[in-house]
Amino acid sequence: MQSNYETKLWGGRYHQGTDERMERFHNIAATTSWLLEPDIIGSIAHAQMLSKCGLITQEQGTQIDQGLKDLLKQAQDGVLVLDNSFEDVHSFVEIKLTGLIGEAGKVLHTARSRNDQVNVDMKLYARQSCQALLDLLRNLLDTIKAKADANPIPMPGYTHMQRAQVITFKHYLMAYHGMFSRDVRRVENAIQGMNECPLGCGALAGTTHAIDRPYTAKLLGFEKPYVNFIDGACDRDYLIEALSALSMIMMHLSRLSEDLILYSTHEFGFVELDERFTTGSSIMPQKRNPDSVELIRGKTGRVYGCLMALLTMMKGQPLSYNKDMQEDKDAYHNAMVTVQNCLVVMEGVIATLTPLEERLRCSLKGGFMNATEVADYLVRKGIPFRSAHGIVGSLVLYAEAQSKELEELSLAEFRQFSEVFDESVYENIIYEHSLKLGIKKEML
């Protein structure tokens, strides 16, 4: 086994190796392999800045630059693999680089701490993963709109899970289009909050070396360096903001999942989920279970937990960096991968689901879902809405007693409750007609 000095950047201070129990407890190298490429990319920019500022020789700069690019290629090809024989990704990259190019690798950490280094790694990863998330959200939006446009089928709408008014399947789906569109803006805002570069902040107090922080910020695609060194070393607000956006996405995915679970039951029968996104029962041969959307609904709690974990981890820490912050990695990565996977699956669910038109239309019967349209009709006839509301309430009681729907009542029956009723009332209360009136046309 390699010594502390060989595998830890701080090993020279210690007489003994780390206790095996402590090693297992704090070592996260193997679970943060996704930070390998961001760490190398950040190191390339740092080395180029050191060379530009004359803090390392041009020869050292060239050797480091080429060595890091070789390591990056190996990482991208899956040849360079991070494992737990090293403390973290930073020591892994630096020690591998030194093994590759020799003594020149040892100057890479000049004017840099692991505190500002890990924060730039996390920002690079967070920015890249959020960009990938935007692509998945936009793909889902396109799929929702295509499915909605193809299915302007009348169906019941609900409040309090009670039949309320007639809507269309298109209008129903486009409600989620609105939610996920706002999620796009939230993720874009989160990315905008990642525009400050931590490199050069050091452990918490900068460096006495004459470095060029705006240069490394520009090389890495940031707008500017942090104004305050302490803030730059320990800022995790950008991760919490991104996790908040992820939690909102999962909330919307979970609501959609709950709808699809209900609507695909025999009791509703509004939609049919494709076999490719359902599973069977080990004991009941007839079953087709909506496991895809049930898992999405369940995984929402995991993402909420990651947000709460990070908020709780940060709330009691004194300035500046503390080892607690190591917990940000698993929380953010876990949540991001979960949300990305859920978006991929939900896009497939929506693309392949079938609205059952006959059942949707049959479900319009019952519940007096055109009662509000009757009240609106009376208002257009000059009756104040509160009075119209009372008239229609009495109409509903009468229709219930006669076991009739409102549209089944005769004109004479309508006129028992108000003389303003005439034949035009039927144009307003037959569902297909009422959907074409006024602003309701937007549902079609």
Give the catalytic positions in this structure: 160, 281
Of 232, 271, 249, 233, nearest to 188 by C-alpha is 249
Give first-to-last CA distance, the chain, whole Å: 70
Tokens standing for residue 200: 């050069």
Contacts 24+ apart (CB under 8 A), 56-65: 56/107, 56/110, 59/104, 60/104, 60/107, 63/101, 63/102, 63/104, 63/105, 64/97, 64/101, 64/104, 64/105, 64/107, 64/108
| 429: Cα within 13 Å, side-chain hemisphere | 26
Which whole-number Å values give the CA distances from 147 to 167, 256, 271, 432, in the listed order?
A: 16, 14, 12, 20
Q: Which amino acid is located at 92 in the chain?
A: F
**What is the token pair recorded at 262?**
């209900």
Alpha-carbon torsion (315, 317, 318, 322), positive or negative:
negative
Where do we find the tokens 């060029």?
212
Q: What Rg value do the Cα atoms of the chain yield, rounded?
A: 31
Residues 6+ apart with CB under 8 A from 301: none
Torsion of CA 14, 15, 21, 27, to 10 degrees: 30
Please list the alpha-helical segments (H only) found in 353-384. 357-362, 371-380
